[in-house]
């Protein structure tokens, strides 16, 4: 069962613009994580936000979490061509010690 659902499925923007991706989930969580996947490679962890946190920053990444709406957003500021990748959110199923991944957002940064 898919816990996280990303929106949009695909996003294409110009280099230098900001990119926003959204994730919704269904059940209570302890934390939500975002991952990046470059073509032909494995996933790389970007950031983890706990259920008692509302916002977290890491470099050009900003993640928000709204537990009342069961949603999260990932903002990438000042996008670069190297940011072209698929981005996935993942949640823990109420402490089940496992992550459930969404289907991902495919981000394309046009030079």
Partner 1 sequence: IAGITQAPTSQILAAGRRMTLRCTQDMRHNAMYWYRQDLGLGLRLIHYSNTAGTTGKGEVPDGYSVSRANTDDFPLTLASAVPSQTSVYFCASSVRGGEQPQHFGDGTRLSIL
Question: Residues interacting with partner 1, by CB under 8 A?
Answer: 1-2, 30-31, 33, 35, 40-45, 48, 50, 88, 92, 95-104
**Residue closer to partner 1 (CB basis): 1 or 14:** 1
Q: CA-CA distance, 76 to 91, in Å (whole number)?
A: 20
| Element (DSSP H or E) covering residue 93 | none
Cα–Cα distance for residue pair 93/86, rounded to 1 Å: 22
Considering beta carbons, is residue 9 or 18 the nearer one to partner 1? Answer: 9
Q: Write down the least CB distance from residue 101 to partner 1, Å.
A: 4
**CB closer to partner 1, 25 vs 88:** 88
Least spacing, CB of residue 9 vs partner 1, in Å: 9
- Please give the angle made by the CA atoms of 35, 95 and 57, to the nearest 5 degrees: 35
Rounded least distance, CB 71 to partner 1, Å: 17
Measured from the Cβ of residue 63, the count of other Cβ atoms closer than 10 Å reads: 24
Asked if 35 and 43 count as a contact pair (C-beta separation under 8 A), the reply is yes
When the beta carbons of 44 and 81 are compared against partner 1, the nearer one is 44
Question: Nearest approach, Cβ of 64 to partner 1 (angstroms)?
Answer: 19
- What does residue 81 show for φ and ψ, rounded to 5 degrees? -55, -35
């Amino acid at each position: 069962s898919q816990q996280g659902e990303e929106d949009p499925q695909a996003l294409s923007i110009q280099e230098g613009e900001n990119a926003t991706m959204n994730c919704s989930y269904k059940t209570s969580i302890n934390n939500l994580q975002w991952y990046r996947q470059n073509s032909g490679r494995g996933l790389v962890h970007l950031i983890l936000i706990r259920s008692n946190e509302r916002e977290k920053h890491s470099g050009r990444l900003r993640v928000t979490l709204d537990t009342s709406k069961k949603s999260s957003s990932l903002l990438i500021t000042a996008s670069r061509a190297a940011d072209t990748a698929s981005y996935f959110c993942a949640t823990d199923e109420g402490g089940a010690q496992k992550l459930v991944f969404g289907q991902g957002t495919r981000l394309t940064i046009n030079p």
